[in-house]
Chains A and B, each alone.
Chain A
Amino acid sequence: MLDDLPVRLDGVVKRYGNRTVLDGVSLEFTPGVTGLLGPNGAGKCAVPGLSGVEMVRYAARLCGLPGTESLRRAHEVLDWCDAGQERYRPVETLSVGTRQKVAFAAAIVHDPRMVILDEPTNGLDPLERRAMLGRLVTLARDHGKTVLVSTHVLPDVQSICDRVIVLARGRVRLTGAIEQLTRPATPAHRLEGDGPLADLARLLTVRGLPARMVDGDESGATGAILLEPPGSDRIGLVWASARDAGVVIRSLEPAARPLEEVFVQTLRDAEAADETSRGAPGQEVAHAAP
């Protein structure tokens, strides 16, 4: 089945004038949600003068759906996107959020195998944003679609993406499963709770389970504790220490590096690598040559 084959890019080069934005990019996209971090998108687009439903129907017909079927399908997808009665208003008069939904509906109306979305949660309120992310997950997990999301909203990427690709200076700098990329260099657990967390961290360290405060202020009342994985044999020690320190534990889970940290580090590494390659003697000789 064609649908089972992954989408593959092999050595893709794209230039705008003298600027190379993709420089030998090779990637493989499998079903699931993939976050693309790096390049800016082109913004939303629509044909002026058409209403929301006409716009979605137009997109369906351009993709080869027959006339009546395209209208039925447009309404069905707009219903799923919760576009409401605003679908009958001209696209240019719609709110940013509704335009976003219409654009999304237009992108999926013909049931594509792969959907590429640029900042799909822009202009949406928190509830709508959550609903939109839910739709992407539904497409990927329930219908086996390959969803590529280009966004700078890293919490969105972390919450719905299975994989992430970081593009910088035209090259793929990082690619892999989110879980793998955000795993800390040293395995650790993160404990969050209410109460004197700094006291708990000190108590755990004294009792033989090294722990330290992260993401908190100097008072030690906020933030979280990063501790060695306690394992089943020492988990009781954690609960006992929390009780002794007067801390109510809200969560205890394997620690992950924030995606933002991974992203920033990747960009810095890319910059440093490029600086090094520019400063290499071979490059200088090449530039000096007539």
Chain B
Amino acid sequence: MPLHDVGYRPWRGERLGSAAAIGVIALTGIKLAWTSRWLRRMVFFAWSPALVFAMSFFAFEQAIDEGRLVNMREAARAGRNLDGVGMLGTVLADTLGRTPGYAKGTRAVRPAGAPPVDPKIDVADTRRVVWSRLLLAFMRVPQAVLLAVVIGLVAPTLVSRDLRAKAWLVYFTRPVGRLEYILGKAAILGVLVAAITVLPALALWLMGVLVSPSIWVAVDTWDLPLKAVAASVVLAVPTVLLALAYSSATAESRIASFAWFATWAACWIAHSTLTTAAMVAASRQAEVADASGGGQREGRTGSWGEDPFGDLEEDRSVTARQSSSAGGYPGGGLRGRFRWLSKAAGMDPVIDRWAWLSPYHALGVMQAWIFGIETRPQAVVPSLVSLALVSLVAVIVLLNRIDAPTRA
């Protein structure tokens, strides 16, 4: 007989609504997932790119503070690495040629009495664009990849383990419906998404504010944290739903895990293959056109190998020399070396026709759209439709699979 056995006693307390079950499922799922050492390491590691990007923010704001933005622009255009990792130079070389305030006069936010930057450079606009691009690159490259890995570690077990252990009975014999179950499981991944993407992005923004000359920079860039949250939501919804759909499709989490990573890899390869094929075809077409028409350029709609912004026209001869040594990229060897960053930060003037085919690229396009960097409908719409379809199919699979044992 247990020491504290008081027998069976009725319980007449106030019960919480069924919506509370969502939080309970999420909290318990996070607690169980957090027991994995790999997950803890990955989440910890996921903050390290923020430190790298923080250097770019710091270098940029330091340049503003010291009135070196003009020098920095010239250095960036000359292909110098400004922050040790090449990101700021890549972004700045592009941004200062495209800032809306360029040639319209200054709208600087420098404190009174501080030395002027450059009457031709609008500091506030430049900051907004540079910060946006850096945040976008941060979320598209390291965080999106890490997110895919972390979700691949956690999500496959979330539903499949319940199917294997018949734990679905624990839920569906209680006042928990399919919707609460799905939302609870999705919330587990949502918290991970927040820990890997939103929080580091917000920390980056906050750090940018703290190292800037004035705290009023926070007012100027108030929308960037919201955009970072929105970009994370866009990143989370299709990935979480797809991962849960895979998990619900089998009682073997290994199979779900394989399917998850195989999807990302296969779609990435398919995208790369088709993009390369398109580039080769365009290049041949350009060669033919050059040979027959005397090498007339097409401006922004041309291939990546051309000067997309026009502001480098004066440096055409220099650029040409650098391009030849940097794989044909304008703006210096820096941009050529960091082509992945150029694309991630939304500086590729060529529309990624096959982005809709790969979740990674489609998500990148959508994030660029949220940050206001990619606004061309022909670039955004296919990716939007593709991700919406993936999400819809995933929801249908989930709704049909999670309580399948009760119907099978």
| Chain A contacts to B: CB under 8 angstroms | 16-17, 42-50, 54, 58-59, 61-66, 69, 73, 75-77, 79-80, 82, 84, 92, 106, 108, 110-111, 135, 138-139, 142-143
Q: Is the CB of B11 within 8 A of A65?
A: yes
Question: Are B167 and A111 in contact, CB atoms less than 8 angstroms apart?
Answer: no
Partner of A79, one of B5, B18, B21: B5
B2 touches A48 (CB 8 A): no
Give, as a whole number of angstroms, the nearest-CB distance from A53 to chain B: 13
Q: A58-B24, A64-B15 are in contact. Are A143 and B8 (CB under 8 A)?
A: yes
Asked whether any CB of chain A lies closer than 8 Å to the CB of B317, the reply is: no
Flag if A59 contacts B170 (CB, 8 Å). Answer: yes
Interface size class of B (residues with CB under 8 A): 35 or more
Which residues of the partner chain B approach A110 to less than 8 Å between Cβ atoms? 11, 15
Closest chain B CB from A274 CB (angstroms)? 25
Task: Give 11 pairs: A residue, B residue, CB < 8 Å, sorted on A.
Answer: A16-B408, A46-B167, A50-B28, A58-B170, A64-B20, A66-B16, A73-B11, A75-B4, A79-B2, A106-B170, A111-B12
- A48 and B35 CA atoms in complex are apart in Å by 12
Q: Which residues of B contact A (CB under 8 A)?
A: 1-2, 4-18, 20-21, 24-25, 28, 32, 35, 161-162, 165-171, 174-176, 407-408
Residues of B within 8 A of A75 (CB): 4
CA distance A46 to B168 in the complex (A): 9
- Write the nearest CB–CB distance from B293 to chain A, whole angstroms: 68
Contacts of B16 in A (CB 8 A): 64-66
B175 touches A62 (CB 8 A): yes
Chain B residue at minimum C-beta to C-beta distance from A64: B15
Q: Which of B12, B162, B175 contacts A63 (CB under 8 A)?
A: B175
Contacts of A111 in B (CB 8 A): 10-12
Cβ–Cβ contact B176 & A82, under 8 A: no
Kindly state the separation between the CA atoms of A16 and B405 in the bound complex, as whole angstroms: 10
Q: Is the interface of B mostly helix, strand, loop or mixed?
A: loop
Q: How far is the CA of A111 from the CA of B15 in the complex (A)?
A: 11
- A61: min CB distance to chain B, Å: 4
| Shortest CB distance A64–B (Å) | 3
Q: Which of B6, B161, B167 has the most CB of A within 10 A?
A: B167
Contact B35 A49 (CB under 8 A): yes
B251 to chain A, nearest CB (A): 12
Closest chain A residue to B171, Cβ basis: A62
How far does the Cβ of B299 sit from chain A's closest Cβ, in whole Å? 59
Other A-B pairs, 7, CB within 8 Å; known A45-B167, A65-B16: A17-B408, A49-B35, A63-B15, A73-B11, A80-B6, A82-B5, A143-B8
Contacts A16-B407, A49-B32, A79-B2: A62 and B170 contacting too (C-beta < 8 A)? yes
A49: chain B residues at CB < 8 Å are 32, 35
Given contacts A50-B28, A62-B170, contact A80 B8 (CB under 8 A): yes
Q: Which residues of B contact A69 (CB under 8 A)?
A: 13
**What separation, in Å, do the CA atoms of A118 and B16 have in the docked complex?**
28
Contact partners of B14 in chain A: CB under 8 A: 66
- Give the residue of B4, B8, B161, B167 whose beta carbon is less than 8 angstroms from that of A138: B8
The reply to whether A64 and B170 form a contact with Cβ atoms under 8 Å apart is no
Closest to B33 in A: A49
Judge whether A61 and B13 touch: CB under 8 Å: no
Q: Which of B2, B10, B35 has the most CB of A within 10 A?
A: B2
Q: Which residues of B contact A79 (CB under 8 A)?
A: 2, 4-6
Contact of B165 with A46 in the complex, beta carbons under 8 Å: yes
How many angstroms between the C-alpha atoms of A42 and B25 in the bound complex?
22
- Residues of B contacting A61 with CB < 8 Å? 20-21, 24
